[in-house]
């Protein structure tokens, strides 16, 4: 299994790099326009149609190939969205962003990234200690470099041996916490209220900005939005790291809900409005999953996604509908089981994960109906807890 990760750092681009970024943006838009006009979207046919037309650009051919390849991806997404009946504008790149998979070098001794610019005249960007340390990990292969006018990101990959999990950890993400239930019957909760506090703080700052100049306001809110995301990201990184470390230590797989829509976010208390706050919450939900997924893959830990429908309202013992009680408790209308709503959701996610991926298929002891055995064990533990 191939796992991919990326490492980022800030940098200040010189005039040559800014010029390259701008040229890349123009080439990308040219390729997209050609692809739309000629109705092609495969890499091969777009290369044939577009490569010669990029001759007017005085850039190394590496970047032309990368612009074509990136345009192919953009065209594919655009066509897919259109096929699904979504109303989408014709794609046009405004941001300065350049991705290259060829020609660059990581110079460890010079502590720099060397980028092709003119023949035999590469450009050099200093790399910080963190990036150099990450890239010195054994057995990794550097794949690509992405530059914007503020940040550089280097992606790298390695082959990992997938582990045969001895159990599963299910994760239920909520606005203020992360509740886990595992196939050994353990429950846990990780507090994420700090992330909510950060969001609330920035919301407060924004609400005090009453500037008439829309442009200044957008710039300021943009800046706070970025800082806020970085802070929340750090909190989420801490949580995702702990979860993956735990899964690795115990050789367990991870189960999460498929967050295809935003239905889950409508659960009471999770989603307040469709405005900025709602978008921020939606973003932090998917960001946590993204982090867990790539960190887990890097360790060879399987990640399973299950259908989220009903996980928050169905009884994790009998499957009947639950009735909300005080203090975030739910009570089953049918079997009377009373449980914390997040624990109940985590247990439902776990049960679905076990059904989709009987984790112990490799070990003989568990071959017979592994799923029932596990669910019963969890239930028994929880029942004694709620009874006492």
Q: Which is nearer to Zn ion, 99 or 344 (CB)?
A: 344
Distance of closest approach, residue 346 Cβ to Zn ion, in angstroms: 16
Residues 6+ apart with CB under 8 A from 325: 331, 338
Residues 6+ apart with CB under 8 A from 290: none
Q: Which is nearer to Zn ion, 34 or 315 (CB)?
A: 315
Distance of closest approach, residue 78 Cβ to Zn ion, in angstroms: 47
Burial of 127 (0-12, 13-18, 19+ CB in 10 A): buried
Distance of closest approach, residue 316 Cβ to Zn ion, in angstroms: 8
Query: Site residues (CB under 5 A) for Zn ion?
Result: 315, 317-318, 320, 332, 334-335, 337
Residues 6+ apart with CB under 8 A from 65: 47, 102
Tokens read off for 282: 């939606």
CA 227 – CA 234 distance, rounded (Å): 11
Three-state DSSP at 164 gives coil
Distance of closest approach, residue 173 Cβ to Zn ion, in angstroms: 23
Distance of closest approach, residue 318 Cβ to Zn ion, in angstroms: 3
Distance of closest approach, residue 259 Cβ to Zn ion, in angstroms: 26
Q: Which is nearer to Zn ion, 39 or 386 (CB)?
A: 386
* 172 strand-pairing partners: 179
Q: Which is nearer to Zn ion, 153 or 338 (CB)?
A: 338
Place of tokens 């989420």: 236
Three-state DSSP at 189 gives strand
Q: Which is nearer to Zn ion, 46 or 343 (CB)?
A: 343
CA 303 – CA 288 distance, rounded (Å): 13
Per DSSP bridges, beta strands 338-340 and 151-159 are unpaired
Q: Which is nearer to Zn ion, 72 or 311 (CB)?
A: 311
Place of tokens 């503020």: 150
Distance of closest approach, residue 324 Cβ to Zn ion, in angstroms: 14
Q: Which is nearer to Zn ion, 73 or 319 (CB)?
A: 319
* Residue 100 per-residue DSSP state: E
Distance of closest approach, residue 332 Cβ to Zn ion, in angstroms: 3
8 A C-beta contact, residue 292 and residue 312: no
Q: Which is nearer to Zn ion, 159 or 325 (CB)?
A: 325
Distance of closest approach, residue 236 Cβ to Zn ion, in angstroms: 33
CA 186 – CA 206 distance, rounded (Å): 41
Longest dimension (CA), the chain: 77
Q: Which is nearer to Zn ion, 30 or 340 (CB)?
A: 340
* Residue 55 per-residue DSSP state: G
Three-state DSSP at 152 gives strand
CA 40 – CA 38 distance, rounded (Å): 6
Tokens read off for 52: 């010669």
Distance of closest approach, residue 313 Cβ to Zn ion, in angstroms: 11
8 A C-beta contact, residue 193 and residue 177: yes
Q: Which is nearer to Zn ion, 295 or 347 (CB)?
A: 347
């Amino acid at each position: 299994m191939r796992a991919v990760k990326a490492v980022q750092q800030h940098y200040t681009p010189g005039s040559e790099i800014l010029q390259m970024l701008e040229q890349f943006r123009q080439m990308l838009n040219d390729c997209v326009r050609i692809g739309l006009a000629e109705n092609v979207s495969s890499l091969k046919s777009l290369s044939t149609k577009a490569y010669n037309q990029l001759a007017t650009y005085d850039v190394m051919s590496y970047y032309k190939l990368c612009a074509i390849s990136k345009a192919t991806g953009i065209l594919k997404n655009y066509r897919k969205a259109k096929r699904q009946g979504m109303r989408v504008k014709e794609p046009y790149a405004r941001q300065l962003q350049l991705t290259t998979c060829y020609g660059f070098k990581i110079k460890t001794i010079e502590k720099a990234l060397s980028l092709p610019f003119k023949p035999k005249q590469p450009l050099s960007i200093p790399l910080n200690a963190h990036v150099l340390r990450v890239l010195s990990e054994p057995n990794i292969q550097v794949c690509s470099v992405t530059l914007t006018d503020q940040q550089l990101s280097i992606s790298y990959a390695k082959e990992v041996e997938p582990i045969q999990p001895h159990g599963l950890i299910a994760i239920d993400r909520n606005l203020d916490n992360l509740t886990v239930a595992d196939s050994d019957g353990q429950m846990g909760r990780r507090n994420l209220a700090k992330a909510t506090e950060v969001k609330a703080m920035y919301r407060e700052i924004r609400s005090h900005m009453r500037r008439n100049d829309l442009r200044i306001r957008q710039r300021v809110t943009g800046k706070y939005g970025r800082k806020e995301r970085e802070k929340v990201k750090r909190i989420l990184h801490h949580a995702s790291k702990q979860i993956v470390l735990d899964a690795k230590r115990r050789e367990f797989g991870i189960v999460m809900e498929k967050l295809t829509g935003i239905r889950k976010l409508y659960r009471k208390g999770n989603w307040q409005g469709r405005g900025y706050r709602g978008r921020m919450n939606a973003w932090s939900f998917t960001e946590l999953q993204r982090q867990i997924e790539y960190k887990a893959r890097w360790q060879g830990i399987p990640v399973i996604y299950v259908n989220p429908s009903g996980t928050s309202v169905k009884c994790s013992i009998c499957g009947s509908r639950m009735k909300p009680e005080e203090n975030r408790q739910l009570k089953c209308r049918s079997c009377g089981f009373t449980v914390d709503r997040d624990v109940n959701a985590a247990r439902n996610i776990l049960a679905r994960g076990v059904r989709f991926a009987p984790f112990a298929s490799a070990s003989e002891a568990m071959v017979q109906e592994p799923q029932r055995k596990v669910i019963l064990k969890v239930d028994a533990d929880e029942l004694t807890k709620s009874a006492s």
